[in-house]
Amino acid sequence: MSSNKTAFANGLRDGVPIAAGYFAVAFSLGIVAKKAGLTPFQGFLSSILNHASAGEYAEFTVISAGAPYLEMAFVILITNMRYLLMSCALSQKFDSAARCGHRLLVGFGITDEIFGISVGKPGTLNPFYTYGAMTIALPSWAFGTAMGVVAGNVLPVSLVSALSVALYGMFIAIIIPAAKASRVVGGVVAASFLASFIMSRIPLFDRLSDSMKISLLTVLISGAAALLFPIKEKDEAGDRTDERQEGEVKGHDA
């Protein structure tokens, strides 16, 4: 129980800068929600259920166009598809005894930044660490949207955009330590940046959403990295068997 409390507290601590960045970004998103005709409560509800700026922007655009719910659901599914990959990847860091409920709850609250700090934890991931980050970051995202609906037009758009730069700085702070600790990770990060830039310049991919592009690059680059640089997992049971056999051999020799 104490380990869960410690993990939760660590998640809260690491989630503070994420919450600050989320509030600024969601505040600007609230301006779009207001133009779509949403009330502050509707904006809050939308953000507490949909934890992605691109997904919500697409949602508000569909609402403004008066499109049917089925079209909205399809657009949000495509836009947020990358979180399916993140959830599957993060669940692999859980202990094998972790219940399905933990995997589903963490998958529901996954975002780019929460995934970054969670997957970067060494060893097995305690889901309560992710819960701690979610507890402070996701409400900040929702309240930011609601406040943007209420008072978004009061502040200049340029000022709100400047505040959102903190989110990108925080994301860089997440990936740099891992890239410095491993040349493989650093190479994968550099390859991801280059591949993303190249894809943005190829007209063939213009019709794909940003989320679809990210999903494709994630599968291709992570798959290539797994094939070229596989992580060797240590078989503790096998090691103990080898050590026991070596001891028996030495005993017979004596």
- Are the C-beta atoms of 89 and 219 separated by less than 8 Å? no
Model pLDDT, residue 179: 81
Reported pTM: 0.69
Mean pLDDT of 224-234: 77
The share of the chain scoring above pLDDT 70, in percent, equals: 80
Place of tokens 């495509």: 78
Place of tokens 């919450």: 19
List pLDDT tens digits, range 36-80: 889 999 999 999 999 888 788 878 888 887 878 887 888 788 778
Cα torsion at 181, 183, 185, 187 (round to 10°)?
Answer: 150
Mean pLDDT of 155-169: 64
